[in-house]
Structure 1
Amino acid sequence: MPSYIPYGAYWSTPFARWQGSLSHLNSIELAAHVAKNALAQRQITTDQIDYAAYGMTVIQPGCFYAAPWFNAMIGAEHLGGPILNQACATGPRLISAAMGEIALGSASTVLLASGDRTSNGAHVYYPAPSGPGGTGQAEDWVLGSFNYDPWAKGAMVQTAENVANRFGIGTEEQHEVVLHREAQYQDALADDRAFQKRYMDAAFEVPDARFKKTVKVLSGDEGVYPSNPEKLAALKPVVPGGTVTFAGQTHPADGAAGMIVVDSAERAADLVGGSNPVIEILGVAQAREEKGFMPAAPIKAAENVLRQTGFSITDIDVFKSHNPFAVNDIAFARAFDLDWRKMNNYGSSLIWGHPQGPTGLRAIIEMIEELEIRGGGIGLFQGCAAGDSAMALVLRVL
């Protein structure tokens, strides 16, 4: 049975490059601050919500209590709910969890939220009294995760190189993707950011760490730097002898996003009005690739969700991806005989950055808005995640 997203009952902050304007904020508190304001703007009250789930991938002070703490901060002390983490696929995983609760009859109106801060990542020390001299083990939560998969025994950029080698993808084509994605992102900034203002505040007031006063105002994403062919051509691959440059991959970021999922089109209409588009979530699926081939995992996840929903790739009107590497989009397009230029209109994480947990939610929100602009249709989102895994989602806008 499908679940539904009330049109407009979703939101995202601007994404700020790490160590930028959001780096001083606890990501759970930021997500609650944003969600509380977003619900008030949409005249949705917390007593209308009977389930909530919170997604995060980077530990923060107080994160042991993340979901109930988040719920209490938005005025929903009656709600419990889980903390979910599937790395970069946390967004679609949240939606899958909502669909499951609805299918079980345990919930009718679900609040999903995610906030992550890659800035100032925790440095963790694990005591080991039995170690040599009692020395423990240390871990850099963010950078350590980027640089070493304990199963594949390598960095994430190496998984991109593995996929580039499998599909014969060179640096020049990756840079073509980067320039094209930057042009698509400019479409989202046209007419004074008309597209982004569909789901993002025109001027986002950044609070201080105590959430008492505004310290800065962001008019859109922070830290998106334009490229040009000459600048890209001068870049060297990150891995010696490889193909992926710093431009061919996304940048870590900070931010928050959220949405409401409900059990019927009627309930969606009650929340936001009956004259809006109907958004049906038709299916969510996951997959895992061969060890060390993370950017190829969305191919299998997409195959699974298409099989689940009964659609073929030619039925899809809008494609959106979480593309931490340009390699992702090229490999996906080749696997399905698509033109990668037709994917990711209005932008993608390759350009606007990657706070991890909220990334997929924002991409799905943008997919909904693109479908609304074109007059409806079917959209497919897909994105990879740590551990050579991926998730894919199909929805329809009527």
Structure 2
Amino acid sequence: MHACATSTTSVFNAAAAVELGNVNTAYCLLADRCSNGPHTIWPNPKGPGGEVLSENWNMDNMAGDPSTGLGMIVTAETIAKENGFTKEEADELTLRRYEQYAESLKDDRAFQKRYMMPIEVPVSKRETKVLEADEGVSQTSREALNRLKPTTEGGIVSFGSQTHPADGNAGIIVTTKENAARLSTNPSIPIQVISYGYSRVEKAKMPAAPVPAVKMALERAGLTVHDMTAIKNHNPFIVNDMFLAKELGIDAMNVNNYGSSLVFGHPQGPTVGRLLIEAIEETVEKGGGYALATGCAAGDNGAAIIVKVG
């Protein structure tokens, strides 16, 4: 629906529908498969001998935004160059993101188990596997990151400081205050959608897009970024976090506690949904307050959502 901002926009639309009385309860079911597909193949009407055309929707769009023809990595390097970011800074912040994710794995994944449930996946008529935790997460170190060369000439982003295509799903129920109290596992902690922001920036400057979206959401809520208890930012490239922190005047080391899409992967549709859920859980852990979840979407736009916890 809205690329990587699908979750943000879905929750906002659901909240608006509930607020207007159009629905009593909405379930935002967010799922995506980016690790392998989708692929389309069709006959070339002008091709001789049954020649076919093919398209890899995910990888082709990553390699070239349809509106500009430029790859997503180009958008990251453009912002990095304009702001004077260095590979050393990128590696240091990337290492911090892996350390934050490791916090969610402590005590037998205690933090993750607050919102992540095992599912059974049938792989054949005779075999069913149980998926309990993230798969495909790499291990890294300061030395390993320092050894990796940038993926583009003169750039700062290496394979270590960008995300990877992944599959995933998330679900978020949006309903009335009364119904939420009935459905919640802890009715004493109300969670309310406060505001939403959306923005577009210059083409091929994707990492910059969340900033005006965040500012719009904050203004609509009558809050400042320093009122936020938890902040989550979708980071297909570490440059996204570097720019967000610079423009908002916050410490990048304290954003994305307990994990981010840079580490656990990039399934587009549910990505910010998971980040929002984690932001809520972190805010609950800290005694309540405001949680902000934001992120870019494709080549030049972004969205942000603020919720009140408690």
TM-score range, shorter chain: over 0.9
Could you tell me which residue of structure 1 aligns to residue 122 of structure 2?
A: 208
Identify the match of residue 145 of structure 2 among 227, 232, 244. 232
1:295 correspondence with 2:200: no
The residue aligned with 2:99 is 183
User: Aligned to 1:154, what secondary structure does the other structure show?
Assistant: coil
Aligned ranges for residues 250-265 of structure 1 at < 5 Å?
250-263=163-176, 265=177
Indicate if the aligned counterparts of 2:40 and 2:54 stay in contact, CA closer than 8 A.
yes
Q: How far 1:240 sits from its partner (Å)?
A: 1.6
Note closer, same or farther for the CA distance 1:351–1:105 as it changes in structure 2 (3 Å cut).
Answer: same
Q: Deviations over 1:4-53 (max 9, x none)?
A: xxxxxxxxxxxxxxxxxxxxxxxxxxxxxxxxxxxxxxxxxxxxxxxxxx
* 2:83 equivalent to 1:167: yes
Is the 1:205–1:214 contact (alpha carbons within 8 Å) kept by the matching residues of 2? no
Q: Which SS does the other structure have where 2:54 is aligned?
A: strand
Q: 1:136 to 1:216 in 2, by over 3 A?
A: closer
CA distance in 1, matches of 2:145, 2:209: 27
Aligned-CA RMSD value: 1.8
Structure 2 residue corresponding to 1:147, chosen from 42, 63, 80: 63
Distance 1:281 1:205 in 2: 28
Q: What TM-score do you get using the length of structure 1 for normalisation?
A: 0.74
Partner AA of 1:286 in structure 2: Y
The yes-or-no answer on 1:345 pairing with 2:257 is yes
> Does the C-alpha gap of structure 1 residues 325 and 110 become closer, same or farther in structure 2, counting only changes over 3 Å?
same
Of 183, 189, 193, 1:281 maps to: 193
TM-score, length-normalised on structure 2?
0.94
Q: Partners of 2:35 and 2:261 in 1: how far apart?
A: 17
Secondary structure (helix, strand or coil) at the match of 1:250 reads: coil
Q: Deviation at 1:215?
A: 3.2
The Cα offsets for residues 291-315 of structure 1, whole Å up to 9 and x where unpaired, read as 1000110001101111111111221
- After TM superposition, which residue ranges in structure 1, 4 or more long, deviate above 4 angstroms? 131-137
> What amino acid sits opposite 2:138 in the alignment?
Y
Letter in 2 for 1:261: V
- The answer to whether the 8 A contact 1:381-1:394 is kept is yes
Q: Is the Cα–Cα contact under 8 Å of residues 113 and 256 in structure 1 kept in the other structure? A: yes
The structure-2 alpha-carbon separation of the partners of 1:207 and 1:303, relative to structure 1 and needing over 3 Å to count, comes to same
Contact residue 90 and residue 239 of structure 2 kept, 8 A: yes
2:22 aligns with: 106
Residues 150-172 of structure 1: CA deviation (Å, up to 9, x unaligned): 21221001100011012111111
Distance 1:273 1:207, change over 3 A: closer
CA contact (8 A) 1:206 1:214 kept: no
Distance of 1:236 and 1:379 partners within structure 2? 35
Closer/same/farther in 2, CA of residues 276 and 233 from structure 1, 3 Å limit: same
Task: Give the drift of 1:179.
Answer: 0.6
Residue of structure 1 in register with 2:32 after alignment: 116
How far off its partner does 1:272 sit?
Answer: 2.5
Cα offsets for 1:261-284 (capped at 9, x unmatched): 012x22211222674301011011
Aligned letter for 1:241? G
What residue number does 1:97 align with?
13
For residues 184 and 248 of structure 2, the distance between their equivalents in structure 1, rounded to whole angstroms, comes to: 37
User: How many pairs were matched up?
Assistant: 309
Following superposition, the deviation at residue 213 of structure 1 comes to 6.0
Q: Tell me the SS of whatever aligns to 2:7.
A: helix
**Which deviates the most, 134-143 or 177-186?**
134-143
**1:364 corresponds to:** 276
Q: By how many angstroms is 1:216 displaced? A: 2.7
Q: CA deviation at 1:214?
A: 5.1
Partner of 1:242: 155
Aligned to 2:112: 196
Instruction: State whether residues 180 and 187 of structure 2, in contact with CA within 8 Å, keep that contact through their aligned partners in structure 1.
Output: no
The alpha-carbon distance between structure 1 residues 151 and 213, as it changes in their structure 2 partners (threshold 3 A), is same
Say whether 1:332 aligns with 2:244: yes
Residue aligning to 1:222: 135
Report if aligned partners of 2:75, 2:207 keep a CA contact under 8 Å in 1: yes
Answer yes or no: is 1:395 the counterpart of 2:295. Answer: no
Measure, in 2, the Cα distance between the counterparts of 1:188 and 1:343: 14
Structure 1: which 5+ runs fail to align?
1-84
